[in-house]
């Protein structure tokens, strides 16, 4: 029985050689096709090109755009360096997105992928990629409006000490939310109230209060600032960063003085706008899988946060960008 099973597994068919009779466009293939159309490859490669290795006497470097595409695959599908190398051999849609033909060449190995990631981290290019994507979206009609929603979320980190150093990451900290303790970092974002796009990001340890990052989350031209009760009573900070802005953060109740019915209704109306920020967190943490840190230290994870936020903005704006492309081709 075992020999028969092994023989069956070794049988080759025409479909194995690429002559598939049946096929379907998978969600992964459709997603990669859409992102291939909306990512401004030329502008992003131009940012990295000055620090990217040049061809010399040794082995020529892998093409810059190809490495950037692999790096984006890592962030879209939450893959480690070895995992993305194996995924390129395993997934046809990923190979087509990167432009690899296994009949002529192999995929870059995990060491090459790791060195490229370290290059971006060393030169802090994650923030510059995020800013370039923001400029690109503005040129495509996704202007920043006068309303900003601020919020923060916790990105968990391993709390175990069962590692080589016998210690947790010293740059991460613990904080209490409700009745539960969390360990990791905190991602603070400023989101446009009209387009839902992220225009500001700050990464801090998890124990830092939300209000401390508030001035860095405002672009200065706001007329309204929305936030949950963690940002209440911060009118001075808002006035310093955005002089013309009005405070629309939720009011906070206290033990000896709860919120009146009128204040609760006001909070409810504000929350209908403030809820838009959760869409950005949904994409970052659930769709792209950045709910837990992958590296040690704030610098590496902060760099990844900027890149994931840039990709999240392109994901949210993809239908608008593709519609513009169709209108130009018509």
For 112-158, what is each residue's pLDDT tens digit?
A: 999 999 999 999 999 999 999 999 999 999 988 889 999 999 999 99
Distance, CA of 184 to CA of 157 (rounded, Å):
4
- Decide: residue 44, CB within 10 A, 0-12 exposed, 13-18 middle, 19+ buried: buried
Residue 18 pLDDT = 58
pLDDT band per the 50, 70, 90 thresholds, residue 23: confident
3-state secondary structure of 1: coil
Q: What is the pLDDT of residue 78?
A: 96
| 19 token code pair | 């002559």
Tell me the whole-structure pTM to 2 decimals: 0.90
Q: Is the pLDDT of residue 59 over 60?
A: yes
Mean pLDDT is lowest, of 104-108, 127-131, 199-203, 265-269, for 265-269
pLDDT at 88 exceeding the cut of 90: yes
Closest C-alpha to 177, from 202, 149, 148, 156: 156
Mean pLDDT of 300-324: 96
Element (H, E) at 69: helix 64-77
Q: Are strands 224-227 and 147-156 parallel, antiparallel or unpaired?
A: parallel
CATH number of the structural domain 144-326 = 3.30.420
**282-294 tens-digit pLDDT:** 999 999 999 999 8
pLDDT given at position 83: 97
Question: Which residues fall within 8 angstroms of residue 57, CB to CB, at 6 or more apart?
Answer: none
Residue 233 reports pLDDT greater than 80: yes
Q: What are phi and psi of 280, to 5 degrees?
A: -65, -45
Helix (H, G, I), strand (E, B) or coil at 191: strand
| Residue 139: partners with Cβ closer than 8 Å, 6 or more residues away | none
> What pLDDT is stored for residue 12 in this prediction?
47
Q: Is the per-residue pLDDT at 6 higher than 50? A: no
d(CA 305, CA 296): 13
pLDDT at 261: 83
Least confident range from 25-39, 48-62, 213-227: namely 48-62
Between CA 233 and CA 249 the distance in angstroms is 8
Residues 312, 283: contact at Cβ < 8 Å? yes
pLDDT at 305: 97
pLDDT in tens, 271-280: 889 999 999 9
Confidence of residue 50 (pLDDT cuts 50, 70, 90): very high
Name the segment(s) of the chain with CATH classification 3.30.420: 144-326
Confidence of residue 19 (pLDDT cuts 50, 70, 90): low
Q: How far apart are CA 33 and CA 289, in angstroms?
A: 20
Whole-number percent of the chain with pLDDT over 90? 71
Q: Tell me how far apart the alpha carbons of residues 118 and 122 are, in angstroms, rounded to a whole number.
A: 6
Token pair 């225009």 is at which residue? Answer: 199
CB neighbours (10 Å) of residue 4? 8
Rounded Cα distance, 242 and 265, in Å: 26
Q: Cβ contacts of residue 314 below 8 Å, gap of 6+?
A: 35, 38, 39, 133, 137, 321
């Amino acid at each position: 029985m075992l020999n028969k099973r092994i023989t069956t597994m070794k049988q080759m068919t025409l479909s194995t050689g690429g002559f598939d009779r049946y096929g379907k466009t998978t969600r992964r293939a459709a997603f990669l096709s859409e992102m291939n159309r909306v990512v401004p490859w030329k502008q992003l490669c131009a940012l990295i090109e000055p620090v990217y290795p040049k061809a010399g006497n040794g082995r020529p470097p892998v093409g810059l755009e190809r490495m950037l595409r692999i790096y984006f695959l890592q962030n879209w599908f939450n893959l480690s360096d070895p995992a993305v190398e194996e995924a390129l051999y395993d997934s046809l849609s990923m190979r087509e997105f990167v432009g690899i033909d296994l009949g002529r060449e192999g995929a870059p190995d995990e060491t090459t992928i790791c060195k490229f990631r370290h290059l971006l981290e060393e030169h802090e290019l994650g923030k510059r990629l995020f800013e370039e994507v923001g400029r690109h979206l503005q040129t495509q009609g996704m202007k920043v409006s006068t309303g900003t929603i601020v919020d923060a979320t916790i990105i968990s980190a391993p709390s175990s000490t069962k590692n080589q150093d016998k210690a947790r990451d010293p740059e991460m900290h613990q904080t209490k939310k409700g009745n539960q303790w969390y360990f990791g970092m905190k991602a603070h974002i400023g989101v446009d109230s009209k387009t839902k796009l992220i225009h500001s990001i700050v990464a801090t340890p998890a124990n830092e209060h939300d209000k401390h990052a508030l001035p860095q989350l405002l672009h200065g031209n706001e007329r309204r600032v929305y936030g949950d009760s963690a940002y209440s009573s911060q009118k001075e900070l808002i006035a310093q960063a955005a002089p013309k802005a009005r405070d629309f953060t939720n009011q906070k109740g206290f033990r000896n003085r709860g919120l009146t019915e009128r204040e609760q209704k006001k909070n409810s109306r504000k929350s209908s706008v403030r809820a838009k920020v959760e869409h950005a967190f949904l994409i970052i943490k659930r769709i792209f899988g950045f709910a837990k840190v992958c590296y040690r230290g704030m610098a590496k994870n902060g760099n990844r946060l900027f890149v994931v936020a840039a990709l999240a903005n392109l994901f949210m704006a993809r239908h608008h960008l593709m519609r513009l492309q169709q209108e130009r081709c018509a």
